[in-house]
Structure 1
Amino acid sequence: MSLLPNLVFGFLPYCLSFLGTKYLMFALWGVIAVAMGAGDYYNVFNALTQMPKGARTYLYQMNSYWYIPENK
């Protein structure tokens, strides 16, 4: 998955909703979009906190794995 659609269709509409009450639908849309991307945020958090430097990650179904490639 990608975080870019989640940021564009989630946080951007949510921030637009701060302009006034007539944009309340954007707030609802933004909250739902951000919640649907929770798994992507969880993968990014795990990658930043658990992976050693130089490691690579790949996703398989609902799991993410990391490995350190051999230097050739």
Structure 2
Amino acid sequence: MSGRPLDVLEASLGEDVQVQLKGGEIYEGRLTGYDQHMNLVLEDAMKVPAPEDPTGDSEAPVEDTTIIRGDNVVSIIP
């Protein structure tokens, strides 16, 4: 697999991913879409506590479809 970001996203379509945002939030869900700006569409996503925030809420489901703006993404782990 190529290491180019969009190739990695293409290979991860339909798979569960973990997305970390600039603010420290972490979402886990199934990647169902993306665009050239790395805006992401997650289905059945859960917001999970950040490792550095032990007092964070427990896993909580979010909407059926979650759209994450690419400008906020720090990392995507397939």
Q: Same fold (TM over 0.5)?
A: no
Query: When the two structures are superposed, what TM-score results if normalisation uses the length of structure 2?
Result: 0.23
Query: When the two structures are superposed, what TM-score results if normalisation uses the length of structure 1?
Result: 0.24
Structure with more relative contact order (C-alpha pairs < 8 Å, separation 6 or more): 2
Please identify which structure carries the higher helix content: 1
Please identify which structure carries the higher strand content: 2
